[in-house]
Amino acid sequence: MPPDATIHSAAAQPKAPAAPKDPKDRLIVALDFPSAEQALALADELQGLCRWVKVGMELYYAAGRTVVERLRARGFDVFLDLKLYDIPNTVAGAVRSVSGIGASLLTVHASGGAAMLRAAAEAAHCTGAPKLLAVTVVTSMDAAELAGVGVNDTPSAQALRLALLAKTAGIDGLVCSAEEIVALREAMGPGATLVVPGIRPAGTDAGDQKRVATPADAIACGASMLVVGRPITQADDPAKAAAAILEEMAEPR
């Protein structure tokens, strides 16, 4: 296991993604583990296969900001997926609190509303702040789930509404399902970062995801980056599983 001797300084500026072409720069592996030790062990298995890892709520709440610093010390860029959603002042404070720890991407919920999104975007102007991504409709929700919370539109229509709200508020990166990529790319423009979870290689179990796609299909539709968790992290050979996904991402369509 590589040492953590050189932790990136808080003043270091994280790298913002800019239309990566190499599949290794487009794959984000979700380190959804309950401890830093498990997450770092998996990250070490993937050294050289991908640049990006995701730290979500499970890992961040268990291990805190130090796990981001330790992953950065190993050379990974970090997608901090906290899905911030609260009153504008609280979300702005949270954005400032995680700025400078080395994360390159940070999520907020677009459904938090225009004022919250604007507050988050303004807070992200501080030194060391990550690029913000607005979560539209999570991939575990379908039309029935949306209806259950009072949204009677399709997931695609709701995602587009929230995407435009985020764009107006100053956030030009989104998290969306593969089903919405084409419409959101047209609405947001070629420079927008579209990060797509719910990725499942052909023939694998969708699990609790409702709106899924294969890696090749998501890339062909215009995804900037893909988030893959269980198909890699729960594989018998995670490195082999990651390599297979990278190969599929690179196939011409």
Instruction: Please give the positions annotated as active site.
Output: 83
Other Cβ atoms within 10 Å of 235 Cβ, number: 15
H or E stretch including 228?
strand 225-228
Other Cβ atoms within 10 Å of 122 Cβ, number: 14
Contact 225, 20 (CB under 8 A): yes
Contact 8, 72 (CB under 8 A): yes
